[in-house]
Amino acid sequence: MTLPLYTPSVAVITGATSGFGRETALRLAKLGTKLILTGRRTERLQDLQNQIDTPVHILTQDLCDTAQVASDFANLPDAFQDVDLVINNAGLALGVNALQDKDVADSLTMVDTNIKGLLAVTHALLPGMVARKKGHIINVGSTAGTFSYTGGNTYCGTKAFVNHFSGTLRADLKGKNVRVSCIEPGNIETEFSDVRFKGDKDKADTVYAGYRKMVGSEIADMIVWLATQPEHINVTHLEVMPTDQAPNGLNCTGIDT
């Protein structure tokens, strides 16, 4: 017997102003899911809200302000309180410099956003899901958390945290009917590289040139697939990359094909 697919009732999507987050919001709205959408760019959140028919609650929020994050989620409107899906998506990389050449502020911003921000959201929303015995956290990790590359230093470290935290959190939640999944994408074209290269479009475009690239909507489809699995199924890790991308290990041969 196949049990029915799950339809999330109220979903939080962090980083809904762009990329995976925005595309996921559009798809979940089509399922009738009520959405709490976060990001720092209010206008983009409002534009997105205007394209969506289900109820939307906007939170203009900087994840690095963890006190604000806690307060925002403690004061959700009544209709949005029973959150049963949290998509910890917001995050960023800054630069590909060797650590000795990197601005410490960039490293700290990645830690504040990708680790501390994700933790603040999770701390704020997990107790309610446990109390209601219903919930799903989908963290957006990365292949960068598994495979090292030159200049990845802090970003890879933050995503290693996300990948591993997701598995360890599952151990705490056994028997609580709260699922945890981690999607770990490789190179996918979004605004990610524009941010990483601080607006240098030529450098950003190079990342996706010369091979059959993947785009944000393809990852969003997979996030929705994770979120709609029947309740007794927990897809724990989902690593995905373009067919034309593969890990290069330690590159000991010096040959990069």
User: Is residue 95 a contact point for ligand NDP (CB under 6 A)?
Assistant: no
With CB cut-offs between 5 and 8 Å by kind, which of ligand 8X3, ligand NDP, none does residue 191 bind?
ligand NDP
Supply 128's token pair: 């309610």
Q: Which residues are catalytic?
A: 155
Least distance (Å) between residue 143 CB and ligand 8X3: 6
Which residues are paired to 185 by β-bridges? 240
Is 173 a binding residue for ligand NDP by CB under 6 A? The answer is no
Maximum Cα–Cα distance across the chain = 59
Contact segment (CB under 6 A) with ligand NDP among 85-93, 223-231, 232-240, 243-251 equals 85-93
Closest contact distance (angstroms) between CB of 67 and ligand 8X3 is 28
| Burial degree of 105 (CB within 10 A; 0-12, 13-18, 19+) | exposed
From the list 3-11, 29-37, 88-96, 171-179, the region that binds ligand NDP by CB under 6 A is: 88-96
The residue among 73 and 155 lying less far from ligand 8X3, judged by its C-beta, is: 155
Query: Rounded to an integer, what distance in angstroms lies between the CA atom of residue 195 and that of residue 52?
Result: 26
* Interacting partner of 164 out of ligand NDP, ligand 8X3, none (Cβ under 5 to 8 A depending on kind): none
Give the contacts of 257 (CB within 8 A, at least 6 positions apart): none
Cα–Cα distance measured from residue 177 to residue 173, given in angstroms and rounded to the nearest whole number = 7
The end-to-end CA distance of the chain, in Å, is 47
115 belongs to the binding site for ligand NDP (CB under 6 A): no
